[in-house]
Amino acid sequence: MDVNDTFVYKDINTPVGIIHIIATAKGLSGLLWEGDNYIRTKLPAASYDEHAPILIQTELQLKEYFARQRKIFDIPLDFRGTAFQIKVWRALLQIPYGTTITYGQLALQLGDTKAVRAVGGALNKNPIAIIAPCHRIIGTSGKLVGFAGGLRNKAFLLDLEQQYRTPTLFDS
């Protein structure tokens, strides 16, 4: 196993509970919710390392995000999943802070309106919550649906972003 495939982690306290952050030398690979496990994301077990630079950088940027001082993360990411899953997770990075889209809109952006269920499946496996913002995906009716961190945390994140987003020309 090469050093780039060695996984390290640390736990951090946040307003949405303890978050388990996981990284390799290449970048952040996981941001798991309190009580979440590796099975959902299929990440391998990691060794504790509170001094790993990517984990320190992630913790700092998350603190800034929750303090409403950061809207865009610039942490290197090391997604681990299928080609389709990674395509979906990378598409999440394009959804602007403070906005939401539906599963169908995300499938359309990916070029296949019939892929709504597949998109939902990939979102369920998203290993880097918050930073790859699957909380910004909502149901067609506008309801909050499906979120590994729980709907209460999804609502919290959306409220945080909605209150502190920059208005656009499209706002009425």
Q: Is 20 within 8 Å of 38 (Cβ atoms)?
A: no
CA distance 17 to 37: 15
Q: Is 55 within 8 Å of 43 (Cβ atoms)?
A: no
- b/e map 2-33, b = 16+ CB within 10 Å: eeeeebbbbebebebeebbbbbbbebbbbbbb
Surface-to-core class of residue 130, CB atoms within 10 Å of its CB (0-12 exposed, 13-18 middle, 19+ buried) = buried
Is residue 134 annotated as a catalytic residue, yes or no? yes
Catalytic residue among 55, 134, 138, 148: 134
Catalytic positions are: 134
